Structure 1
Amino acid sequence: MDWKEVLRRRLATPNTGLNRKKSEQELKDEEMDLFTKYYSEWKGAGKNTNEFYKIIPRFYYRLPAEDEVLLQKLREESRAVFLQRKSRELLDNEELQNLWFLLDKHQTPPMIGEEAMINYESFLKVGEKAGPKCKQFFTAKVFAKLFHTDSYGRISIMHFFNYVMRKVWLHQTRIGLSLYDVAGQGYLRESDLENYILELIPTLPQLDGLEKSFYSFYVCTAVRKFFFFLDPLRTGKIKIQDILACSFLDDLLELRDEELSKESQETNWFSAPSALRVYGQYLNLDKDHNGMLSKEELSRYGTATMTNVFLDRVFQECLTYDGEMAIQELMKIHGQDPVSFQDVKDEIFDMVKPKDPLKISLQDLINSNQGDTVTTILIDLNGFWTYENREALVANDSENSADLDDT
């Protein structure tokens, strides 16, 4: 009997247990049989059930308790060794210079202006010569990520080198921050970040002029910037990856530039002029010189037009408006006609367009890109007046511009 006949007979065979779909009950019975089998093996392991558990991969490692000093020390030392090993895996300055030399040597003509380019074939050749530390950068994925619209299928050498530099910087910074992660859980507490910034100050030339007596205030100012934005739920800790993802650390480390312009210093929150300006404002508000600001002292900030409700909220003494806008009270004090609460509420809801028509969430404000406007309207009389009269102000600006053109 040849194979064709065998196949024909099999196809003609009535539905049997081999080609019939198993019923739900049969599947449950098989599951129970498997459970019984493994349970029996577990019982057969004897009283020492650890023998059975050895086949399960370990997935949890208990953190040492506070009184387990030796275990804590062992954990700290092992983390330090691990971070040192990771640091050695990064490209050093000499290796980066060698990488730039190789890229420049293998550039692919023609140049676009002064922009040196490299095609994929030369890109791979450089990867072979650059050494094992660079292997992670010379992949098709990285090349495709940096490729834009070059008609010769090339990428910019400068863009690629900047990409490598940025990656190396991020890893270096992560390792540096992790050294201050006392808990070893991937986040920094306030005290951890304070220690990091305090020890960073001597490495920032733009802060050379700060007196050591001012360091504590400077550190406090810098840390509060991080925690205000990166710890909105006030947990007292920030993920290291969140610190790396935001631009604050870039601004702080920008102070390494000895030739940083005056304009850049003025706009950088972490610069010496910015810190001294904040310190001066604080001293001017602190009338009793006790090192703290009362609600009354804070109310004099700026042009003293912040609403009482906002100040109450800052001090967490009042959580509602009690049906009345503080803005209305200030308008009466300054001799202006109060506006309708309902009108302002409707205008704010129209601006934000929240998912829930009855309330506005933080995410609604973020999504609307109108959070700064809404906040200014509610907490500051000047901000409210500017918004209410925005059309007239624009018209006046246009008229003034036209008058200047005529002259």
Structure 2
Amino acid sequence: MAVAEVDKPALDWRQALKSRLEAVASQKAKKTDQELKDNEMDLFTKYYIEWRGGRKKNNLSYKSIPRFYYRLPAEDEILLQKLREESRAVFLQRKSRELLDNEELQNLWFLLDKHQTPPLIGEEAMINYENFLEVKEKAGQKCKQFFAAKIFAKLLHNDPYGRISIMQFFNYVMRKVWLHQTRIGLSLYDVAGQGYLRESDLENYILELIPTLPQLDGLEKSFYSFYVCTAVRKFFFFLDPLRTGKIKIQDILACSFLDDLLELRDEELSKESQESNWFSAPSALRVYGQYLNLDKDHNGMLSKEELSRYGTGTLTGVFLDRVFQECLTYDGEMAIQEQMKLHGQEPVSFQDVKDEIFDMVKPKDPYKITLQDLISSGQGDTVSSILIDLNGFWTYENREVLVANDNDGSADLDDS
């Protein structure tokens, strides 16, 4: 009994607490959703007013946030348009003056060479971080942006003395300067001032670029329009897959097309390089000749029937249909098995071809092949030729025989 009497107050306290909690829970349950929302809004309003009052005491408010949106002037706002164009021109001129000129680049090379760090390994001059910083102080304000620690770290490889190649660093600087120069040059043709070029903008850029490319000196002026068209289509085919009619300047700089185009500034460009360069005069003339040969009715456009004669006339109907679905046309201007029957060859099993293609590509999803799968596999050209051209398919199917014949021919030459 004594134990029971001692424990009774504790039990009464626990019971009272339990009852209170049940009462609170019951009271909360009786509140409607609207009441809960009202309570939340009251609390929010209370704290927001207190916060705003504190901001006002410090003379701060939302009005202190700087303006970040400016609408483009309308077509009839001539004065605003002119003001915008002039301000952009001044901005681009200022950016251009910030770039290293030829004299400053030569001075940078001289300083780097003067501060190279021994010992000399091979023929490549090297520089350590201490001398790197010393060149930074002597090279001038324009150069300081290139002498960051992270740039040195990126160029640091396996040198046992912790040095980087002077030539690699200088090439990095040259590349950055070239990119900024080209960015500014392209921006001059950006009529909208929004960081992209429309088709007409890019046409104007390339047309005015032609006289500065010695490798195009032989082109007749009457051929300029076709050349510009083929060059621009190369950019838009790859850089505007959604057919928006515009390309980001950033994307133009990131791809290699502009490098190929500006390679034509080299007066001593080899014949092999010209043949492999899409923008060279021989390449443009070759495309033009093929186009004229296909255009049987001489109306300046290719119909589906005319395009089907391309090469050896073995393009599949499915491929041609897809081309005309995707590309701009005017008035209407497994397929491999059909082509094989048409040319008297024994058709192959679709399942066999499908299995071979999947084995080549090794896609992430075993049930489909994406564009990224093709790119990653490095087999995109082979797969495309198998699916769209009978000759490409035949070459792939008989690759072992062809290799064996080549080896036999080589052996005969060796014997002779």
Common fold: TM-score over 0.5: yes
Paired residues of 2:52 and 2:61 also in contact (CA < 8 A): no
With normalisation by structure 2, the TM-score equals 0.83
Is 1:133 the counterpart of 2:146 in the alignment? no
Select 1:245's aligned residue among 234, 238, 254: 254
In 1, Cα distance between equivalents of 2:50 and 2:75: 43
In 1, Cα distance between equivalents of 2:233 and 2:180: 24
In 2, Cα distance between equivalents of 1:349 and 1:110: 53
Describe how 1:153-232 pairs up with structure 2 within 5 A: 153-232=162-241
Paired residues of 2:341 and 2:347 also in contact (CA < 8 A): yes
Q: 2:68 corresponds to which residue?
A: 59
Select 2:285's aligned residue among 261, 276, 282: 276
Is 1:33 the counterpart of 2:33 in the alignment? no
Select 2:116's aligned residue among 107, 110, 120: 107
In 2, Cα distance between equivalents of 1:96 and 1:55: 43
In 2, Cα distance between equivalents of 1:350 and 1:146: 38
* Structure 1 residue 65: Cα displacement: 2.1
* Structure 1 residue 248: Cα displacement: 0.7
Q: 2:93 corresponds to which residue?
A: 84
Paired residues of 2:214 and 2:267 also in contact (CA < 8 A): yes
Paired residues of 2:98 and 2:142 also in contact (CA < 8 A): yes
For 1:86, give the aligned amino acid: K
For 1:337, give the aligned amino acid: E
Runs of 5+ unmatched residues, structure 2: 1-35, 328-333
For 1:150, give the aligned amino acid: D
Q: 1:5 corresponds to which residue?
A: none
Structure with the larger helix share? 2
Q: 1:341 corresponds to which residue?
A: 350
Cα 1:40–1:294 shift into 2, 3 Å:
same
Give aligned pairs, total: 371
1:238 match: secondary structure: strand
In 1, Cα distance between equivalents of 2:114 and 2:363: 56
For 1:367, give the aligned amino acid: S
Is 1:350 the counterpart of 2:363 in the alignment? no
In 2, Cα distance between equivalents of 1:382 and 1:373: 12
2:279 match: secondary structure: coil
For 1:66, give the aligned amino acid: E
Cα 1:64–1:147 shift into 2, 3 Å:
same
Deviations 1:349-372 (A, max 9, x none): 333333444433323322332221
In 2, Cα distance between equivalents of 1:257 and 1:343: 49
* Structure 1 residue 66: Cα displacement: 2.2
Is 1:71 the counterpart of 2:84 in the alignment? no
1:293 match: secondary structure: coil
2:197 match: secondary structure: strand
In 2, Cα distance between equivalents of 1:40 and 1:269: 66
Q: 2:17 corresponds to which residue?
A: none
In 2, Cα distance between equivalents of 1:65 and 1:337: 65
Deviations 1:249-289 (A, max 9, x none): 11100111111111111111111111111111111111111
Is 1:95 the counterpart of 2:108 in the alignment? no
For 1:233, give the aligned amino acid: L
1:276 match: secondary structure: helix
Q: 1:258 corresponds to which residue?
A: 267
In 2, Cα distance between equivalents of 1:40 and 1:132: 46
* Structure 1 residue 307: Cα displacement: 1.0
For 1:331, give the aligned amino acid: M
In 2, Cα distance between equivalents of 1:317 and 1:177: 28
In 2, Cα distance between equivalents of 1:282 and 1:69: 43
Q: 1:393 corresponds to which residue?
A: 402
Is 1:327 the counterpart of 2:340 in the alignment? no
In 2, Cα distance between equivalents of 1:317 and 1:181: 27
Is 1:315 the counterpart of 2:328 in the alignment? no
Q: 2:415 corresponds to which residue?
A: 406
In 1, Cα distance between equivalents of 2:284 and 2:173: 33
* Structure 1 residue 237: Cα displacement: 1.1
Q: 2:379 corresponds to which residue?
A: 370
Runs of 5+ unmatched residues, structure 1: 1-24, 45-50, 319-324
Q: 2:151 corresponds to which residue?
A: 142
Paired residues of 2:316 and 2:339 also in contact (CA < 8 A): yes
Deviations 1:197-239 (A, max 9, x none): 0010111111111111110000001111111111111111111
For 1:35, give the aligned amino acid: Y
Deviations 1:388-407 (A, max 9, x none): 11222222223333333333
Identity of matched residues, %: 86
* Structure 1 residue 152: Cα displacement: 2.0
With normalisation by structure 1, the TM-score equals 0.85
Deviations 1:90-128 (A, max 9, x none): 000111111111112222222223222222111111110
Deviations 1:273-313 (A, max 9, x none): 11111111111111111111111111111111111221111
In 1, Cα distance between equivalents of 2:397 and 2:371: 23
Q: Which moved more, 1:345-354 or 1:157-166?
A: 345-354
Bigger Rg, structure 1 or 2: 2
In 2, Cα distance between equivalents of 1:343 and 1:174: 49
RMSD of aligned alpha carbons:
2.6
1:316 match: secondary structure: helix
Deviations 1:22-56 (A, max 9, x none): xxx999986553224457899x9xxxxxx965233
2:91 match: secondary structure: helix
In 1, Cα distance between equivalents of 2:45 and 2:267: 73
